[in-house]
Amino acid sequence: RTQYLARGPSFVDELNGQFVLAIWSDEGRRVVLMNDRYGLRPVRYCLTDSAVFFGPESKVIFELSQMPKTLNRQWAEELLSVGRVHLGGETLFEGVGVLPPGTILEWSGGKCRRSKYWDYTYDPVPSVDTPVINDLCGLLEQSV
């Protein structure tokens, strides 16, 4: 709490590990949701003009918000045609999203702002030619 009050949501840049944080601010009636860099603990949410509902599962959101359960047909079609779950921020239900990894969601007065505070960095090594790798490859070849 102290770090949030001193630095705002940017304090999550320095956190490590699995987390989902929800912060309520009376000032501006503001909700801030933050999750870890890999989204290891998914948080689902639904935004309305008067509130934001969130929880680890969609059923919690439906119980609290009284919104109807409507199938997200595009998501379902993609799942059935491709054979895997879409990795975007959508879910099986229309109007319910999943907070992407490394994201801060700020909601106040019916307005929502999402920002990424971290993303993967991919910097491939062109080639690795060390005796350890060569020895390991030799052992793998022998076992096959």
Q: Which helix (H) or strand (E) holds 21?
A: strand 20-25
Q: Determine contact, residues 80/65, Cβ cutoff 8 Å.
A: no
138 or 23, which is more confident: 23
Q: For residues 19 and 109, what is the distance between their CA atoms, to the nearest angstrom?
A: 26
The pLDDT assigned to 114 comes to: 94
- CA 144 vs CA 26, 129, 132, 136: distances in Å: 64, 22, 19, 13
Over residues 106-128, the pLDDT tens digits come to 999 889 999 999 988 877 777 76
Place 138 in a pLDDT band, splitting at 50, 70 and 90: confident
Over residues 3-21, the pLDDT tens digits come to 888 888 889 988 989 999 9
pTM of this structure: 0.76
Instruction: Check whether 85 has a pLDDT greater than 70.
Output: no
SS3 93: strand
103 or 87, which is more confident: 103
